Every structure is written in C-alpha cells, then in structure tokens.
A and B are shown apart, each in its own frame.
Chain A
Amino acid sequence: MHIVVCTKHTPDSEAKMSVDEAGNVSWGESPLIINPWDEYAVEEALLLREKYGGTVTVISMGPEEALEALKHAIAMGCDEAIRIWEESCADSDTLATSYVLARAIEKMGDVDLVLFGKSAIDAETWQTGPAVARRLGYPSLMYTIKIAELDPDGRTITVERLLEEGRQVVSAPLPAVVGTTKGINEPRYTSFIGIRKAARMEYPLWTLADIGAEADKVGAAGSAVRWPQIFMPPVREGEAEIIEGETVAETARILVEKLLAEKVI
C-alpha cells in the first residue's frame, strides 16, 4: 500500500486573529502548526500501514512554513515527506491547489489511497479534497468517520461517511480519495524518536517543472477566486441579561416568557 496524506500548515486554533488596515492577517504570537484536521488523516494512514504494510508519504504545497506540517507528520510516523512550491504558487485558490496536488500524486504513480483532513482551519473551504478527487478521477469519499473495510488485493474500500441525516456506507475501488473527520481515530502524540527523525529528515522540494505542471494553472493565474478584503466581524456589545426569579421554577417561567417574546419558539 502506498498512502499519500495531503496536509498544510495553519495558525494554532487558539490563535487570536487580527487584520491591520492594509488587510494583512496576523495570528499574533501563536505558532504555525499542522492543520489539526490533518492529524486524523495522518493517524489513519499510520493505522492502515500498521495493518496492511506499505509506506506513507505526506505532501504539502506551501512555502517553507509548510515544513511545520510535514515535520509533525514525520514525527507522528510517516515515512516520506515532499514539499511542492515555487513563488508562482502563491495566491492559489482550491482550483489551483488541487491541480498542483493532483499533478504531484500522478507523478508518484503508484498511489493506492489519498487522505485529507476534513478541511483546513484557516480558509475552511473543505474543497481541496473533493477537487483533487475530481482531477485524479478517483472516487471521492469525504467526511469519512470509519474505514469499515479495506481490501488491498481486491482493490476496494468501504467507508462510513457523515451526512446530515446519518452515516452513508459507500464502497469504491482503489485508488480513492478519502476525507477523514474527527471521530475516525484518536491521533497519536509525536514521540521523542519521531521528533528527532523529523529534525534530521531530508525534505525534498518539488518544483512545478518536477511535477509537469503548467504555469498558467497555478497561483493567481490558475485561480478563479480572489479575496480582495479580509476584515474583523462586528462584535456584539453587552453581556447576557441574567434571569433570576424567587425559585428555579419562576426563573424558568420568566425565561420562557422572554423567549416567546423573541419569537424564537
């Protein structure tokens, strides 16, 4: 089995985000980390490797900061890591990013399974996974909360994926793109040995030429979406109106009256 995990780096989920007047986004002192959703994808890849053997390659399109994500994945136990970047990749939307990732996966050639986290906690589009699946022509199995069956010899996978009404059970041939979600596993911590390995590891850099990508499909040129303005949401002023009756029953009745007056019931 050759499993590829696509990942990216993001500010920590606790980061206090702000925007200056020029529209530059800042995450203060918070560190850049592996996108938290991607840890589920990495963990699932490692669990599958433990069960079926093979290798796990983690890839990321991004500037040097993307190494944070790759190092974390290596420290968790992935075998190989590849970064794909050149300056012209900047300002890629998911259309362009999915093109680059799909080209890189095609270059590897022998891939059985491509794993994604559900989304990245920065832009939260949820779009790169399904877009890569479409580009590769692989089945798209997003929001997977359980890999119910995997048959590397029979070349099939069965997953349970989350939809609003419940879990859809889907079988598909390999290779496939699986988007993982929380609940599929409990991501392991990095080990001391893993961190040391990650520190010593070589992180090959693939350029657009390396993956045979056309320049006009990458970066701003290859992107359809522009984001001209990023701003802080309006803050709601004031604190909660604290309801306090003589008894709990009276408190409850006062609240019910207020909610009926708000016409939300």
Chain B
Amino acid sequence: MSNDIFVWVEQFSGHPTAASWEAAGLARRLADELGSDVTACVFGGQGIEPLAQEAISYGADRVLLAEDATLADFRVEPQAALLAKVVREAEPAVVLIGATFRGRELGPALAVELDTGCIADCTALEFEDGQLVATRPIYAGKLLSKCVIPERRPQIFTTRVRAFPKPEPDSSRSGEVTRVEPVLAEDEIPSKVTGFKETKGGVSLTDAAIIVSGGRGVGGPEGYEPLRELAQVLGAALGASRAAVDAGWIPYEHQVGQTGKTVSPDLYIACGISGAIQHQAGMRTSKVIVAINKDPEAPIFKLAHYGIVNDLFKVVPALTEAFKEKLG
C-alpha cells in the first residue's frame, strides 16, 4: 500500500466540475502532509484529454486518462469498475470524490467494490495523530460527526461542494499522463443514457457563488420575476423555499433546505423567506446571508448578517438597480 491520494475528476459534457478541483486541492494538501503523490482519474468521452493537463495544474502529479464513449455520459457502473481497477493496482491510502449527485453515487459503489468505507459529504478533513479524521454534518447540520476509517484501505471520502477551497491553477506544474482502458464494454453496462434535459436558468444551485432565493413572500410564480432579474445581474442561481415549491410556484430543482439542496454560496439573498429550521439546514453555511422580509420577527433575521425589513417587491428591484450602477 502507498500513501498516495487518488482524486476522481467529474465532468459533464467534457467540462470539469468545480467540485473536482476542490477535491484535487484537498488531495494536494493531504499528499504534501504525507510526502506522497496525487493521482487524478479523468474518465470521460472522446475529447477530454485537455482535462488531464488541467488536473495537473490543480495539483495532480499523475493522471490516469480514459477516453472512451462508454464513459462520456455519467453512469456509475463503468466509472466504478474502472476506478476500482486502478485503485486495486496502485493501492492508494485515500480516494477523494466531490460530493455531487454523481460523486455520492460513485463513492458508495466503489466502497462496496473494494470492501472498504466511504465517508459522505465531508466538510473538513484533517490528520489527528496520523489518522485522517473527517467532519460531516448530520441531522441537517443540527449536529456534526467526526468519522474515521481506522483499518480498511483505501479510505474513501466525498467532499461537500464549496466546503474546500478551489486552488489557483498553476499551468507551470508538470506531471505524467498515463492512458487506461475502460473495464466494461458497452454491452456489459446495463444502463443506457437516452437523453438529458438541462435545467433552464443556467447556474447550478450547488456550484453557485451567489444565490437569490424566494419563499412564501414572493406570492406566486410571477413573484419570482424581480428575483430572476437580480440573479441575472449578479450571475446568481435562483433558489426557493419549500413553501414556494410545495405551492407549485417554482420547480423542485430550485429548492434549498433539508428536503432540497444544501448550498454554501458566498452570498445568499433570502427574499420573503421566514427561515424555518428546515430551510436554514440547507443554507446556514453560506458566507454572507442577506434577509429581506416584511416581518421583523422572522427567524431568518437571527441567522442573517444583513437584514432589510420591507416589502421584497420594493427592495429587490432597488437592489437590482443599485448593483447595476456599481457593476456596470
């Protein structure tokens, strides 16, 4: 067994996700502490070769590159089979995977394949007396749990999106790229991807640096229009509370909270959201929280850093104008 760190590089249509580079940055830090190397696993369809160099710029010493049609659209079976094979050969101490939807399906499948542990959705990972200790939220972040994999190897961790810093790429770094072949042929893969319906409105909630979110106070589907305009000016994603989703004003994909997505943007602007504990569970780790609500007693003001007590339909358009002035 080696002390090396493996990191899985996730891509969608050939584009790497930010979660991959956050995991790569963490892999680099852990490898530096151990005096070992980082291997990035880049498995995708034809044309993903540039990601190998990019992985090196984000901290990899070595890249295992598989370029094959069976790996183009994410399916857990071929990805897990190939990842298990290269891990068995190299015997790294740690495998890091971004805790995205794909990553959180891949991690446990890989753990079963290798008969080892996978600790999900880590928000911190540190050595304590030589043992890697992961911290992860449980019960919707009401509690935190420290977790370890004391004996089995490799230790697999999925890392919460935006919980670890994305490093600055360094294009002067060099590394070795080795091509690997997929393990499963197309006729050995049970599932077939027959289509993809991209979410309208662009920015993905989990990756977003800024989120403009609306709750019961927006009053109806058309109430989201001013929020959309603000989001557009800021390049932000559009979020929603459970109340608004359950009322049918906006699709579930936008829901933030315990029964929706967990987000951790730099800036979260909560408009007409009272801030029920279930909503807080999904956004409390945002760096700066702004609350706009008519009700000064709304619980969201206990969590927010800045608050405006007024009608969101007056405040949000004014904010849009003020940002336009400043940002040009």
Interface residues of chain A, those whose CB is within 8 Å of chain B, are: 11, 13-17, 19, 25, 36-37, 93-95, 98, 121-128, 130-131, 133-135, 138-143, 145, 158, 160, 162-173, 176, 181-183, 223-233, 236, 239-244, 248-249, 251-253, 255-256, 258-260, 262, 264-265
B73 in the interface (beta carbon within 8 A): yes
Contact of B101 among A160, A162, A239 (CB under 8 A): A162
Q: In the complex the two chains form, is B74's CB within 8 Å of A168's CB?
A: yes
List of A residues within 8 angstroms of B216 by Cβ: none
Q: Which residues of B contact A125 (CB under 8 A)?
A: 108, 120-121
Structural contact, A225 and B318, CB atoms closer than 8 A: no
Asked whether A248 lies within 8 Å of B102 as measured between CB atoms, the reply is no
How many Å from the CB of A135 to the closest CB on chain B? 6
A12 to B17, CA, bound (A): 34
When C-beta atoms are compared, the residue in chain B nearest to A160 turns out to be B197
Contact (Cβ within 8 A) A182 B147: no
Bound Cα distance from A141 to B106, whole angstroms: 12
Cβ–Cβ contact A121 & B121, under 8 A:
no
30 A-B residue pairs with CB within 8 Å: A14-B277, A17-B142, A95-B112, A95-B116, A122-B138, A126-B121, A130-B104, A160-B197, A164-B101, A164-B207, A168-B73, A169-B193, A169-B195, A169-B197, A170-B192, A176-B190, A224-B117, A224-B152, A225-B148, A227-B147, A228-B146, A228-B148, A233-B143, A252-B319, A252-B321, A255-B306, A255-B319, A259-B267, A262-B267, A264-B287
Residue contact B323 to A256, C-beta cutoff 8 Å: yes
- The winner among A142, A182, A259 for most chain B CB atoms within 10 A is A259
Q: Is the CB of B318 within 8 A of A249?
A: yes
B251 on interface, CB distance cutoff 8 Å: yes
Q: How far is the CA of A233 from the CA of B17 in the complex (A)?
A: 29
Q: How many residues of B are counted as interface, with CB atoms below 8 angstroms from the partner's CB atoms?
A: 96
B305 to chain A, nearest CB (A): 6
Q: Which residues of B contact A (CB under 8 A)?
A: 12, 17, 73-77, 80, 100-102, 104-109, 111-113, 115-121, 137-152, 190-199, 204-207, 209-210, 234, 251-253, 255, 258-260, 266-267, 277-278, 287-288, 290-291, 296, 301-310, 314-315, 318-319, 321-323, 325-327
> Which residues of A are found within 8 Å of B118, using beta-carbon distances?
94-95, 127, 224-225
Chain A residues positioned under 8 Å from B73 (CB to CB): 168
Given A169-B197, A240-B301, answer yes or no on A13-B140 (Cβ-Cβ < 8 Å): yes
A58 to chain B minimum Cβ distance, whole angstroms, is: 21
Contact partners of A19 in chain B: CB under 8 A: 143
Distance A141 CA – B226 CA, assembled complex (angstroms): 36
User: Does A258 contact B306, Cβ atoms closer than 8 Å?
Assistant: yes
When A140-B105, A249-B318 are in contact, do A230 and B143 touch as well, CB less than 8 Å? yes
Contacts of B151 in A (CB 8 A): 224
User: Looking across the interface, which residue of chain A has its beta carbon closest to that of B292?
Assistant: A255
CA–CA, A133 and B106, complex, Å: 11
Chain A nearest Cβ from B243, distance in angstroms: 14
